[in-house]
Amino acid sequence: MARSKTRQKNGHPPRGTSGFLSLQRLPFQNNSNRSHERFGGGRDWRRLIALGTIVVNLSALGLLSSSFGRPMPDYWPGMPAIFSGLVIAIIIMRIGRPKIYWDWVSLGALEITLGVLLKNDPVLASALYALPFYGLLAMSAVQLGVIGASIKPNKAWTWLGAGGAANIIVTTLGCIDHFTSKSISAETALMTTLMIIGLSLIGLGKSLRPKRDTGSIG
């Protein structure tokens, strides 16, 4: 009894209690570690910035082609979205290997599908293409926000969440315009959302940059 009282006064719980508390804390520690597993590598933030830059350049190419004609002879509608989706899936899988981040892969797959739909019907004359197109465009915007909610720190959510919200607005305006005045082309709507995704990726990479590397990128 005396030894037990001494342990309690010294603040050391019995061994059984200590083991039980450790088991209780384990799930919370696992959840905390899981939120920091993604993009924890020393160069992951650089890869995200590079990925975002590629997506921005591809979307800029699409915007130029839809506004001022086709600058490349082999260009076809939806090409930037298809290549951007492939690049997103490949680079994120490379960053996460051996794990697969299925939410990112889904985002890439959505962009590829949108590009294929636009390639088959560039003006979305058929409702069979128009309705799935804007439905998938909305899903892509929501998916971007969902990905942001799964990443820490909060700055990451700010970039991806804002990007998802902006893409919802673009999708809504594009869909309304398509079925009314048709002044905004489907390719312009898709390339605008793709541009926002690229900028969000650049912002995500910068938000994950370690403080010691703040001077390495101007």
3-state secondary structure of 21: helix
Query: Do 11 and 86 belong to one domain?
Result: no
Query: Do 20 and 67 belong to one domain?
Result: no
Query: Do 142 and 59 belong to one domain?
Result: yes
Provide the 10 A C-beta neighbour count for residue 105.
Answer: 17
Question: Do 36 and 152 contact (CB within 8 A), yes or no?
Answer: yes
Query: Do 28 and 114 belong to one domain?
Result: no
Q: What is the pLDDT of residues 108-167, one digit of tens each?
A: 999 999 999 999 999 898 888 899 999 999 999 999 999 988 877 667 778 999 999 999
Q: Where are the alpha helices (DSSP H) in the chain?
A: 2-9, 15-37, 44-68, 79-96, 102-120, 127-149, 154-178, 186-207
The pLDDT of residue 26 is 39
Residue 72 is classified by DSSP as S
Is 80 inside a domain boundary?
Answer: yes
Residue 75 is classified by DSSP as -
Query: Do 76 and 167 belong to one domain?
Result: yes
Query: Do 96 and 193 belong to one domain?
Result: yes
Q: Which domain holds residue 15?
A: 2-33
Domain count, the chain: 2
Is 149 inside a domain boundary?
Answer: yes
Query: Do 13 and 55 belong to one domain?
Result: no
Exposed / middle / buried, residue 64 (Cβ in 10 Å: 0-12, 13-18, 19+): middle
Is 215 inside a domain boundary?
Answer: no
How far is the CA of 132 from the CAs of 122, 128, 162, in angstroms?
Answer: 13, 7, 24
**pTM here?**
0.78
Query: Do 26 and 134 belong to one domain?
Result: no
Query: Do 47 and 112 belong to one domain?
Result: yes
